[in-house]
A = this chain, B = another copy of it.
Amino acid sequence: MSASPSATSRVSVPGASAYPHRGADALVMVTRNGEPLAEREVVVAQRRHRFLFGCIGFEFIPLANGEPYGTARAGDDLDPVRNLSDAEVAQVAELWFELFNFVTLPFYWQRFEPVRGRPDTERVRTAARWFADRGCTVKGHPLAWHTLAPDWLLELPNDEVARLQVERIRREVSGFAGLIDMWDVINEVVIMPIFAKYDNALTRLCREIGRIPLVRMVVDAAREANPHATLLLNDFDMSAAYECLIEGLLEAGVRIDALGLQSHMHQGYWGEERTLETIERFARYGLPIHFTETTLVSGHLMPPEIEDLNDYQIPEWPSTPEGEERQADELVRHYRTLLSHPSVEAMTYWGFVDGGWLGAPGGFVRTDGTPKPAYEAVRSLIKGEWWLPPTTVRTDADGRIRVAGMLGEYAVTAGDRTATFTLDEPGETKLEVAL
Protein backbone atom coordinates (compact mmCIF):
# COMPACT_ATOMS: atom_id res chain seq x y z
CA MET A 1 0.00 0.00 0.00
CA SER A 2 2.84 2.39 0.65
CA ALA A 3 6.55 2.33 1.45
CA SER A 4 8.03 -1.16 1.63
CA PRO A 5 9.51 -2.23 4.99
CA SER A 6 12.95 -1.95 3.48
CA ALA A 7 12.39 1.72 3.03
CA THR A 8 11.54 2.09 6.70
CA SER A 9 14.28 3.75 8.72
CA ARG A 10 16.02 1.62 11.26
CA VAL A 11 17.80 2.17 14.51
CA SER A 12 19.90 -0.68 15.73
CA VAL A 13 22.36 -1.85 18.36
CA PRO A 14 25.18 -3.47 16.39
CA GLY A 15 26.43 -5.39 19.41
CA ALA A 16 23.10 -7.14 19.81
CA SER A 17 23.62 -9.17 16.63
CA ALA A 18 26.14 -11.38 18.44
CA TYR A 19 23.32 -12.63 20.68
CA PRO A 20 20.38 -13.48 18.42
CA HIS A 21 18.55 -15.11 21.33
CA ARG A 22 18.72 -11.81 23.22
CA GLY A 23 17.83 -9.41 20.44
CA ALA A 24 14.69 -8.42 18.59
CA ASP A 25 14.12 -6.65 15.31
CA ALA A 26 10.81 -4.84 15.58
CA LEU A 27 8.72 -3.01 13.06
CA VAL A 28 7.21 -0.33 15.28
CA MET A 29 4.21 1.70 14.18
CA VAL A 30 4.01 4.99 16.03
CA THR A 31 0.52 6.41 16.36
CA ARG A 32 -1.11 9.42 17.91
CA ASN A 33 -4.84 9.57 18.52
CA GLY A 34 -5.18 6.31 16.61
CA GLU A 35 -3.51 7.65 13.46
CA PRO A 36 -0.02 6.73 12.22
CA LEU A 37 2.46 9.44 13.05
CA ALA A 38 3.89 9.62 9.54
CA GLU A 39 7.08 11.29 8.41
CA ARG A 40 7.99 12.58 11.84
CA GLU A 41 11.28 12.69 13.62
CA VAL A 42 11.12 10.70 16.80
CA VAL A 43 13.75 9.83 19.40
CA VAL A 44 14.13 6.19 20.34
CA ALA A 45 16.09 5.25 23.48
CA GLN A 46 16.58 2.11 25.50
CA ARG A 47 15.35 2.31 29.07
CA ARG A 48 16.23 -1.04 30.47
CA HIS A 49 17.79 -4.40 29.68
CA ARG A 50 15.69 -7.50 29.99
CA PHE A 51 18.81 -9.39 31.09
CA LEU A 52 19.24 -8.88 34.79
CA PHE A 53 22.55 -7.12 35.29
CA GLY A 54 22.80 -7.26 39.02
CA CYS A 55 24.89 -6.57 42.06
CA ILE A 56 24.44 -6.74 45.79
CA GLY A 57 23.38 -3.46 47.36
CA PHE A 58 24.01 -4.21 51.02
CA GLU A 59 26.13 -1.12 51.64
CA PHE A 60 23.45 1.27 50.45
CA ILE A 61 20.86 0.34 53.05
CA PRO A 62 21.82 3.28 55.34
CA LEU A 63 21.82 5.64 52.36
CA ALA A 64 18.35 4.47 51.36
CA ASN A 65 17.21 4.97 54.93
CA GLY A 66 18.75 8.42 55.30
CA GLU A 67 21.06 7.15 58.02
CA PRO A 68 24.47 8.84 58.38
CA TYR A 69 27.53 6.76 57.60
CA GLY A 70 29.89 7.11 60.52
CA THR A 71 33.64 6.97 60.12
CA ALA A 72 33.91 3.87 62.31
CA ARG A 73 31.95 0.98 60.93
CA ALA A 74 31.41 -2.57 62.00
CA GLY A 75 30.02 -5.53 60.14
CA ASP A 76 30.76 -7.05 56.76
CA ASP A 77 27.98 -5.25 54.94
CA LEU A 78 29.39 -1.78 55.48
CA ASP A 79 33.11 -2.56 55.41
CA PRO A 80 33.50 -1.60 51.75
CA VAL A 81 32.38 1.98 52.37
CA ARG A 82 34.02 2.50 55.74
CA ASN A 83 36.38 5.15 54.36
CA LEU A 84 33.72 7.13 52.54
CA SER A 85 31.65 10.13 53.56
CA ASP A 86 27.89 10.17 53.12
CA ALA A 87 28.27 12.23 49.96
CA GLU A 88 30.84 9.83 48.58
CA VAL A 89 28.60 6.83 49.25
CA ALA A 90 25.83 8.65 47.37
CA GLN A 91 28.21 9.18 44.44
CA VAL A 92 29.18 5.52 44.49
CA ALA A 93 25.47 4.66 44.41
CA GLU A 94 25.09 6.76 41.27
CA LEU A 95 27.87 4.74 39.64
CA TRP A 96 26.03 1.59 40.74
CA PHE A 97 22.73 2.65 39.13
CA GLU A 98 24.48 3.50 35.88
CA LEU A 99 25.31 -0.21 35.46
CA PHE A 100 22.71 -2.32 37.18
CA ASN A 101 18.99 -3.04 36.92
CA PHE A 102 18.89 -5.76 39.54
CA VAL A 103 19.84 -5.75 43.21
CA THR A 104 20.24 -8.42 45.86
CA LEU A 105 19.42 -7.40 49.41
CA PRO A 106 20.47 -9.31 52.54
CA PHE A 107 18.04 -11.44 54.50
CA TYR A 108 20.59 -13.46 56.51
CA TRP A 109 18.38 -14.63 59.31
CA GLN A 110 20.94 -14.14 62.08
CA ARG A 111 21.43 -10.49 61.14
CA PHE A 112 17.85 -9.85 60.04
CA GLU A 113 16.43 -11.10 63.31
CA PRO A 114 19.28 -11.10 65.84
CA VAL A 115 16.74 -11.09 68.65
CA ARG A 116 13.85 -13.46 68.13
CA GLY A 117 10.72 -11.53 67.26
CA ARG A 118 12.52 -8.30 66.28
CA PRO A 119 13.21 -8.51 62.57
CA ASP A 120 14.90 -5.62 60.76
CA THR A 121 12.02 -5.45 58.31
CA GLU A 122 11.47 -1.74 57.89
CA ARG A 123 15.04 -0.72 57.05
CA VAL A 124 15.28 -3.43 54.45
CA ARG A 125 11.86 -2.56 53.06
CA THR A 126 12.88 1.07 52.70
CA ALA A 127 16.01 -0.02 50.86
CA ALA A 128 14.06 -2.37 48.63
CA ARG A 129 11.65 0.41 47.73
CA TRP A 130 14.55 2.80 47.09
CA PHE A 131 16.04 0.36 44.59
CA ALA A 132 12.67 -0.47 43.02
CA ASP A 133 11.86 3.22 42.60
CA ARG A 134 15.10 3.52 40.65
CA GLY A 135 14.05 0.80 38.25
CA CYS A 136 15.66 -2.22 39.85
CA THR A 137 14.32 -5.70 40.21
CA VAL A 138 14.97 -6.66 43.83
CA LYS A 139 15.96 -10.12 45.06
CA GLY A 140 16.15 -11.29 48.67
CA HIS A 141 19.00 -13.53 49.77
CA PRO A 142 18.64 -16.05 51.41
CA LEU A 143 15.59 -17.34 53.27
CA ALA A 144 17.18 -20.56 54.54
CA TRP A 145 20.86 -21.25 55.08
CA HIS A 146 22.93 -23.06 57.66
CA THR A 147 25.49 -20.25 57.74
CA LEU A 148 24.14 -17.22 59.58
CA ALA A 149 21.23 -19.14 61.01
CA PRO A 150 20.32 -17.48 64.33
CA ASP A 151 22.05 -18.90 67.37
CA TRP A 152 18.77 -18.69 69.27
CA LEU A 153 17.44 -21.51 67.08
CA LEU A 154 20.02 -23.90 68.47
CA GLU A 155 18.28 -24.49 71.74
CA LEU A 156 15.03 -25.48 70.04
CA PRO A 157 14.08 -28.99 68.89
CA ASN A 158 14.14 -29.71 65.17
CA ASP A 159 10.38 -29.63 64.65
CA GLU A 160 10.30 -26.17 66.21
CA VAL A 161 13.23 -25.05 64.04
CA ALA A 162 11.31 -26.25 60.99
CA ARG A 163 8.17 -24.42 62.09
CA LEU A 164 10.05 -21.18 62.71
CA GLN A 165 11.91 -21.47 59.42
CA VAL A 166 8.60 -21.81 57.58
CA GLU A 167 7.07 -18.91 59.53
CA ARG A 168 10.05 -16.69 58.83
CA ILE A 169 9.75 -17.46 55.12
CA ARG A 170 6.03 -16.70 55.11
CA ARG A 171 6.61 -13.45 56.96
CA GLU A 172 9.33 -12.19 54.62
CA VAL A 173 7.92 -13.44 51.34
CA SER A 174 4.37 -12.26 51.92
CA GLY A 175 5.49 -9.07 53.65
CA PHE A 176 7.70 -8.03 50.73
CA ALA A 177 5.45 -9.35 47.92
CA GLY A 178 5.15 -6.84 45.11
CA LEU A 179 8.41 -5.23 46.13
CA ILE A 180 10.55 -8.36 46.23
CA ASP A 181 9.25 -11.09 43.96
CA MET A 182 12.48 -13.02 43.61
CA TRP A 183 14.19 -15.02 46.34
CA ASP A 184 17.23 -17.19 46.86
CA VAL A 185 15.02 -19.45 48.92
CA ILE A 186 17.67 -21.82 50.13
CA ASN A 187 21.42 -21.60 49.98
CA GLU A 188 24.10 -24.29 49.69
CA VAL A 189 21.95 -27.33 50.29
CA VAL A 190 24.64 -29.66 48.95
CA ILE A 191 26.76 -29.25 52.07
CA MET A 192 23.97 -28.28 54.46
CA PRO A 193 23.64 -31.61 56.33
CA ILE A 194 27.38 -32.24 56.47
CA PHE A 195 28.55 -28.72 57.27
CA ALA A 196 30.91 -29.22 60.20
CA LYS A 197 32.48 -25.82 60.93
CA TYR A 198 30.11 -24.99 63.76
CA ASP A 199 26.83 -26.13 65.21
CA ASN A 200 23.72 -24.64 63.69
CA ALA A 201 20.09 -25.57 63.68
CA LEU A 202 19.69 -25.82 59.91
CA THR A 203 22.43 -28.42 59.48
CA ARG A 204 20.90 -30.40 62.32
CA LEU A 205 17.43 -30.21 60.77
CA CYS A 206 18.66 -31.03 57.26
CA ARG A 207 20.60 -33.98 58.57
CA GLU A 208 17.52 -35.33 60.23
CA ILE A 209 14.90 -34.85 57.55
CA GLY A 210 17.09 -34.92 54.43
CA ARG A 211 17.85 -32.38 51.76
CA ILE A 212 14.83 -32.91 49.54
CA PRO A 213 12.18 -32.69 52.27
CA LEU A 214 13.83 -29.54 53.59
CA VAL A 215 13.95 -27.87 50.18
CA ARG A 216 10.36 -28.89 49.55
CA MET A 217 9.32 -27.38 52.86
CA VAL A 218 10.96 -24.01 52.28
CA VAL A 219 10.00 -23.73 48.62
CA ASP A 220 6.41 -24.64 49.37
CA ALA A 221 6.29 -22.02 52.10
CA ALA A 222 7.67 -19.34 49.80
CA ARG A 223 5.38 -20.35 46.92
CA GLU A 224 2.31 -20.22 49.13
CA ALA A 225 3.30 -16.82 50.50
CA ASN A 226 3.79 -15.35 47.02
CA PRO A 227 2.61 -17.45 44.09
CA HIS A 228 4.10 -14.91 41.67
CA ALA A 229 7.61 -15.03 43.06
CA THR A 230 10.60 -16.43 41.19
CA LEU A 231 12.15 -18.96 43.56
CA LEU A 232 15.77 -19.99 43.31
CA LEU A 233 17.95 -22.72 44.64
CA ASN A 234 21.46 -21.35 45.09
CA ASP A 235 24.76 -23.21 45.45
CA PHE A 236 28.49 -22.80 45.15
CA ASP A 237 29.03 -26.48 44.46
CA MET A 238 29.28 -26.77 40.68
CA SER A 239 30.09 -30.48 40.78
CA ALA A 240 27.89 -33.47 40.02
CA ALA A 241 26.61 -33.08 43.59
CA TYR A 242 24.49 -30.08 42.62
CA GLU A 243 23.29 -31.92 39.53
CA CYS A 244 22.24 -34.88 41.66
CA LEU A 245 20.47 -32.59 44.12
CA ILE A 246 18.59 -30.84 41.32
CA GLU A 247 17.63 -34.11 39.65
CA GLY A 248 16.36 -35.43 42.96
CA LEU A 249 14.30 -32.30 43.57
CA LEU A 250 12.81 -32.30 40.10
CA GLU A 251 11.96 -36.01 40.30
CA ALA A 252 10.33 -35.33 43.67
CA GLY A 253 8.19 -32.65 42.04
CA VAL A 254 9.71 -29.70 43.90
CA ARG A 255 9.19 -26.70 41.64
CA ILE A 256 12.23 -24.49 41.31
CA ASP A 257 11.97 -21.46 39.01
CA ALA A 258 15.64 -20.83 38.38
CA LEU A 259 18.98 -22.35 39.31
CA GLY A 260 21.45 -20.11 41.08
CA LEU A 261 25.11 -20.78 40.34
CA GLN A 262 27.60 -18.99 42.52
CA SER A 263 30.87 -18.16 40.84
CA HIS A 264 33.22 -16.55 43.29
CA MET A 265 36.47 -16.55 41.33
CA HIS A 266 38.88 -15.42 44.03
CA GLN A 267 41.19 -18.21 42.90
CA GLY A 268 41.11 -17.16 39.27
CA TYR A 269 38.82 -16.61 36.33
CA TRP A 270 37.18 -19.83 35.14
CA GLY A 271 37.65 -18.95 31.49
CA GLU A 272 35.13 -19.33 28.71
CA GLU A 273 35.43 -23.09 28.31
CA ARG A 274 34.81 -24.02 31.93
CA THR A 275 32.08 -21.42 32.24
CA LEU A 276 30.22 -22.75 29.21
CA GLU A 277 30.75 -26.36 30.27
CA THR A 278 29.25 -25.50 33.66
CA ILE A 279 26.30 -23.70 32.12
CA GLU A 280 25.70 -26.62 29.76
CA ARG A 281 25.56 -29.12 32.58
CA PHE A 282 22.93 -27.11 34.44
CA ALA A 283 21.05 -25.95 31.36
CA ARG A 284 20.02 -29.58 30.77
CA TYR A 285 17.21 -29.18 33.27
CA GLY A 286 15.42 -26.61 31.13
CA LEU A 287 15.41 -24.03 33.91
CA PRO A 288 16.71 -20.47 33.68
CA ILE A 289 20.18 -20.05 35.10
CA HIS A 290 21.20 -17.14 37.28
CA PHE A 291 24.85 -16.47 38.04
CA THR A 292 24.10 -15.35 41.55
CA GLU A 293 27.41 -14.51 43.14
CA THR A 294 30.21 -13.54 40.81
CA THR A 295 33.50 -12.13 42.03
CA LEU A 296 36.75 -11.47 40.15
CA VAL A 297 39.57 -9.86 42.09
CA SER A 298 41.90 -7.09 40.94
CA GLY A 299 44.68 -8.15 43.29
CA HIS A 300 46.65 -11.34 43.80
CA LEU A 301 44.70 -14.57 43.50
CA MET A 302 43.77 -16.65 46.51
CA PRO A 303 46.07 -19.70 46.65
CA PRO A 304 44.61 -22.74 44.90
CA GLU A 305 44.97 -25.02 47.92
CA ILE A 306 42.32 -23.10 49.89
CA GLU A 307 39.18 -25.24 49.80
CA ASP A 308 36.74 -23.09 51.71
CA LEU A 309 37.26 -19.51 50.59
CA ASN A 310 36.28 -18.37 54.08
CA ASP A 311 39.53 -19.87 55.37
CA TYR A 312 41.57 -17.19 53.62
CA GLN A 313 41.57 -14.08 55.77
CA ILE A 314 44.46 -11.67 55.42
CA PRO A 315 44.92 -8.18 56.88
CA GLU A 316 45.39 -6.44 53.52
CA TRP A 317 44.43 -7.57 50.04
CA PRO A 318 45.38 -4.68 47.79
CA SER A 319 44.08 -3.91 44.33
CA THR A 320 46.98 -3.52 41.87
CA PRO A 321 47.21 -1.80 38.47
CA GLU A 322 47.96 -5.08 36.67
CA GLY A 323 45.23 -6.80 38.65
CA GLU A 324 42.76 -4.11 37.69
CA GLU A 325 43.53 -4.55 33.99
CA ARG A 326 43.17 -8.31 34.32
CA GLN A 327 39.90 -7.98 36.21
CA ALA A 328 38.48 -5.64 33.55
CA ASP A 329 39.43 -8.04 30.78
CA GLU A 330 38.05 -11.06 32.60
CA LEU A 331 34.80 -9.34 33.50
CA VAL A 332 34.17 -8.42 29.89
CA ARG A 333 34.88 -11.98 28.82
CA HIS A 334 32.66 -13.32 31.59
CA TYR A 335 29.69 -11.12 30.68
CA ARG A 336 30.07 -12.02 27.01
CA THR A 337 30.18 -15.71 27.87
CA LEU A 338 27.10 -15.54 30.04
CA LEU A 339 25.12 -13.61 27.45
CA SER A 340 26.18 -16.07 24.75
CA HIS A 341 24.18 -18.88 26.40
CA PRO A 342 20.40 -18.63 26.08
CA SER A 343 19.74 -20.21 29.47
CA VAL A 344 21.44 -17.47 31.47
CA GLU A 345 18.97 -14.78 32.51
CA ALA A 346 20.80 -12.96 35.28
CA MET A 347 24.20 -12.22 36.71
CA THR A 348 24.72 -10.76 40.15
CA TYR A 349 28.11 -9.34 40.95
CA TRP A 350 29.11 -9.86 44.56
CA GLY A 351 30.25 -6.49 45.81
CA PHE A 352 30.45 -3.17 44.01
CA VAL A 353 33.17 -1.69 46.22
CA ASP A 354 36.46 -3.34 47.14
CA GLY A 355 36.91 -4.79 50.60
CA GLY A 356 33.64 -6.63 50.90
CA TRP A 357 33.45 -10.39 51.43
CA LEU A 358 36.85 -11.68 52.67
CA GLY A 359 38.26 -8.17 52.26
CA ALA A 360 38.96 -8.98 48.63
CA PRO A 361 39.60 -6.32 45.98
CA GLY A 362 36.67 -7.64 44.00
CA GLY A 363 34.76 -4.46 43.38
CA PHE A 364 34.08 -2.31 40.34
CA VAL A 365 35.08 0.62 42.54
CA ARG A 366 38.06 1.06 44.88
CA THR A 367 37.69 1.69 48.61
CA ASP A 368 38.19 5.41 47.89
CA GLY A 369 35.11 5.40 45.68
CA THR A 370 36.89 5.75 42.34
CA PRO A 371 35.86 3.44 39.51
CA LYS A 372 38.31 0.80 38.35
CA PRO A 373 38.95 -0.18 34.72
CA ALA A 374 36.40 -2.96 35.22
CA TYR A 375 33.71 -0.36 35.76
CA GLU A 376 34.39 1.42 32.52
CA ALA A 377 34.84 -1.83 30.62
CA VAL A 378 31.54 -3.26 31.79
CA ARG A 379 29.73 0.03 31.28
CA SER A 380 30.98 0.04 27.70
CA LEU A 381 29.08 -3.23 27.28
CA ILE A 382 25.90 -2.71 29.28
CA LYS A 383 25.42 0.91 28.35
CA GLY A 384 27.53 0.88 25.20
CA GLU A 385 27.85 -2.07 22.87
CA TRP A 386 24.53 -3.60 24.00
CA TRP A 387 22.56 -0.39 24.48
CA LEU A 388 20.56 1.95 22.28
CA PRO A 389 21.26 5.55 23.30
CA PRO A 390 18.71 8.25 22.38
CA THR A 391 18.64 8.13 18.59
CA THR A 392 16.66 10.30 16.21
CA VAL A 393 14.89 8.58 13.35
CA ARG A 394 12.17 9.54 10.89
CA THR A 395 8.98 7.50 10.66
CA ASP A 396 7.89 6.39 7.20
CA ALA A 397 4.65 7.26 5.42
CA ASP A 398 2.86 4.68 7.58
CA GLY A 399 4.35 5.97 10.80
CA ARG A 400 6.77 3.10 11.03
CA ILE A 401 10.33 2.71 12.18
CA ARG A 402 12.44 -0.38 12.74
CA VAL A 403 14.15 -0.91 16.07
CA ALA A 404 16.73 -3.68 16.40
CA GLY A 405 18.29 -4.09 19.81
CA MET A 406 18.67 -6.17 22.91
CA LEU A 407 15.51 -7.36 24.61
CA GLY A 408 14.33 -4.76 27.09
CA GLU A 409 12.32 -1.61 27.47
CA TYR A 410 12.48 1.28 25.03
CA ALA A 411 10.97 4.74 24.80
CA VAL A 412 9.81 6.71 21.77
CA THR A 413 9.56 10.47 22.08
CA ALA A 414 8.02 12.90 19.66
CA GLY A 415 7.87 16.48 20.85
CA ASP A 416 6.69 16.41 24.43
CA ARG A 417 5.14 12.98 24.32
CA THR A 418 6.89 9.78 25.27
CA ALA A 419 5.65 6.23 25.22
CA THR A 420 7.43 3.01 26.03
CA PHE A 421 7.46 -0.40 24.42
CA THR A 422 9.08 -3.67 25.28
CA LEU A 423 11.06 -6.08 23.16
CA ASP A 424 10.39 -9.27 25.00
CA GLU A 425 10.73 -12.03 22.42
CA PRO A 426 13.79 -12.64 20.29
CA GLY A 427 13.54 -12.35 16.53
CA GLU A 428 11.36 -10.28 14.21
CA THR A 429 8.23 -8.73 15.59
CA LYS A 430 5.66 -5.97 15.02
CA LEU A 431 4.49 -3.44 17.57
CA GLU A 432 2.32 -0.41 17.83
CA VAL A 433 3.19 2.46 20.13
CA ALA A 434 0.60 5.14 20.92
CA LEU A 435 2.09 8.49 21.80
Contact = CB atoms under 8 A, between A and B. Distances in A.
B251 A210 contact: yes
Contacts of A239: 239, 241
Given A194-B281, A207-B284, A281-B194, A248 B240 contact: no
A344 to B, nearest CB: 19
A207 B282 CA distance: 11
B284 A240 contact: no
Interface in A179-194: 190-191, 193-194
A212 B250 CA distance: 10
Interface string A226-250: 0000000000010111111101111
A248 B191 CA distance: 15
A213 B248 CA distance: 10
A240 B210 contact: no
20 contacts: A190-B240, A190-B244, A191-B240, A194-B281, A212-B247, A212-B248, A212-B251, A213-B251, A239-B239, A239-B241, A240-B241, A241-B243, A241-B244, A244-B245, A244-B248, A245-B247, A248-B248, A248-B249, A248-B252, A252-B252
Interface in A317-331: none
A194 B243 contact: yes
Instruction: In the A-B complex, list the 7 residue pairs whose CB atoms are closest, starting with the nearest.
Output: A248-B248, A241-B241, A244-B244, A244-B245, A240-B241, A212-B251, A251-B252
Interface string A191-226: 101100000000000010011110000000000000
B210 A247 contact: yes
A228 B191 CA distance: 35
A308 to B, nearest CB: 14
A219 to B, nearest CB: 14
Contacts of A212: 247-248, 251
A286 to B, nearest CB: 11
Interface string A273-315: 0000000010010000000000000000000000000000000
Nearest to A192: B240
A241 B247 CA distance: 11
A241 B210 CA distance: 14
Interface string A248-261: 11111000000000
Most buried by B among A210, A212, A240, A247: A240
Contacts of A213: 251
Contacts of A242: 244
Contacts of A252: 248, 251-252
Contacts of A251: 210, 212-213, 248, 251-252
Given A212-B248, A248-B249, A240 B243 contact: no
A352 B281 CA distance: 39
Nearest to A241: B241
A189 to B, nearest CB: 8
A350 B179 CA distance: 59
A406 B207 CA distance: 32
A207 B280 CA distance: 11
Contacts of A250: 210
